Amino acid sequence: MKREFMKILEHTSIANDTYRLLLEGEMVQDIVDPGQFVHVQISDDFYLRRPVSICDYNRSEGTMTLLYKVMGKGTDALTKKEAGGFLDVLGPGGQGFPLPGDEQTHALLIGGGIGVPPLYNLAKQLNDKGIRVTSVLGFQTKADAFLIEEFESFGEVYVSTNDGTLGTKGFVTDVLSQLESVHDTYYACGPTVMLKAVMDQLEEVPGYISMEERMGCGIGACFACVIESRDDKGYKRICCDGPVFDAKEVVLS
Ligand SMILES: Cc1cc2nc3c(=O)[nH]c(=O)nc-3n(C[C@H](O)[C@H](O)[C@H](O)COP(=O)(O)OP(=O)(O)OC[C@H]3O[C@@H](n4cnc5c(N)ncnc54)[C@H](O)[C@@H]3O)c2cc1C
Ligand code: FES
């Protein structure tokens, strides 16, 4: 991981309390997998950095896209950063989504709310490999929805909203129960309660989940981000062993 003051090329609102940052810098060349994250220093007023997934990146242009939702004081202060300024970023961090081998042909992507962004570059890379992509995107309400057209350019997209203002009324799991099971791998990111429900529902399918739980140091030193695992140690750190895990390796409670 390296620290860099990345130039903010664009900073725009894309949905209810949701913003898109387009950043430029050398760090883009170090991104290995879709699903990695950066650790953002908001300002001196905030001791801890805030983790944000890399939504997309373009190596030849040296740019990366972050999408974030205002959740509290840190992300609210982030909205005040202006294009033309710089953002203090540490990254890229963590282990991202492994791309499937030649035997896999159909991937199911499941994103909940602000868990949707890290799936975007994954969808792009799967599509480039000729793998069929089906996406199930869940939001609280229509005003919160984003990236739907972008995901449609890679394959079929199903949307759910809690209040039924867009797509199926309910949760992503309500959509999953109506889908024909022809996918051979799944990739999911969203709140832990959603990930647990998805893991239970797709128990028979090989899958990967990305955790967006709270972090401290972001570099493996503080153990603020541990989750239960089935390996010898009995735990894994989201910041460095994840945020992406094989669904069979971890236990969500
Ligand atoms: C690996 C990883 C990737 C992430 N990627 C993104 C992303 O792409 N876009 C995005 O908008 N957010 C992402 N998050 C979540 C983001 O880091 C938090 O929303 C942010 O740190 C909240 O900071 P805050 O100061 O605004 O809120 P705080 O004031 O710290 O908290 C406000 C509220 O949000 C809750 N909260 C704080 N952190 C989290 C969290 N990590 N998950 C769920 N609830 C939280 C708190 O419990 C509290 O209720 C990611 C988190 C991780 C660990
Ligand atoms: S956040 Fe400190 S060990 Fe993961």
Q: Which domains does the chain have, with CATH numbers?
A: 2-93 (2.40.30.10), 106-210 (3.40.50.80), 213-253 (2.10.240.10)
**Banded model confidence at residue 213, pLDDT cuts 50, 70, 90:** confident
Residue 191 has pLDDT above 90, yes or no: yes
- 17 Cβ closer than 6 Å to some ligand 1 atom: no
Ligand nearest to the CA of 244: 1
**pLDDT at 232 (0 to 100):** 80
**Banded model confidence at residue 224, pLDDT cuts 50, 70, 90:** very high
74-85 per-position pLDDT tens digit: 999 999 999 999
Q: Tell me how far the alpha carbon of residue 142 lies from the centroid of ligand 2, in angstroms.
A: 34
Cis bond leading into 92, ω under 30°? yes
Q: Tell me how far the alpha carbon of residue 23 lies from the centroid of ligand 2, in angstroms.
A: 25
**pLDDT at 231 (0 to 100):** 85
**pLDDT at 174 (0 to 100):** 96
Most ligand 2 atoms within 8 A of CB, residue of 38, 239, 241, 245 to mutate: 239
For residues 164-183, give the mean pLDDT: 92
**Banded model confidence at residue 24, pLDDT cuts 50, 70, 90:** very high
Q: pTM here?
A: 0.95
| Index of the ligand 2 atom closest to the CA of residue 218 | 1
| Index of the ligand 1 atom closest to the CA of residue 54 | 8
| Index of the ligand 2 atom closest to the CA of residue 237 | 4
**Banded model confidence at residue 146, pLDDT cuts 50, 70, 90:** very high
- 48 Cβ closer than 6 Å to some ligand 1 atom: no
**Banded model confidence at residue 187, pLDDT cuts 50, 70, 90:** very high
Report the distance separating Cα 114 and Cα 53, nearest Å: 9
- Maximal C-alpha separation, the chain: 50
For residues 182-199, give the mean pLDDT: 94
Q: 196, 211, 201, 199: which is closest to 181 by C-alpha?
A: 201
For 156, residues 6+ apart whose C-beta sits below 8 A from its C-beta are 134, 135
Mean pLDDT of the chain: 95
**Banded model confidence at residue 103, pLDDT cuts 50, 70, 90:** confident
| Index of the ligand 1 atom closest to the CA of residue 215 | 53
Report the distance separating Cα 191 and Cα 114, nearest Å: 9
What tokens were used for 203? 């128990």
Ligand nearest to the CA of 94: 1
CB 35 within 8 A of CB 99: no
Ligand nearest to the CA of 78: 1
Percentage of residues in the chain with pLDDT exceeding 70? 100
Report the distance separating Cα 86 and Cα 88, nearest Å: 7
Least confident of 11-15, 19-23, 100-104, 236-240: 100-104
**pLDDT at 81 (0 to 100):** 97
**pLDDT at 182 (0 to 100):** 77
**pLDDT at 107 (0 to 100):** 95
Residue 181 has pLDDT above 80, yes or no: no
Least confident of 27-41, 55-69, 88-102: 88-102
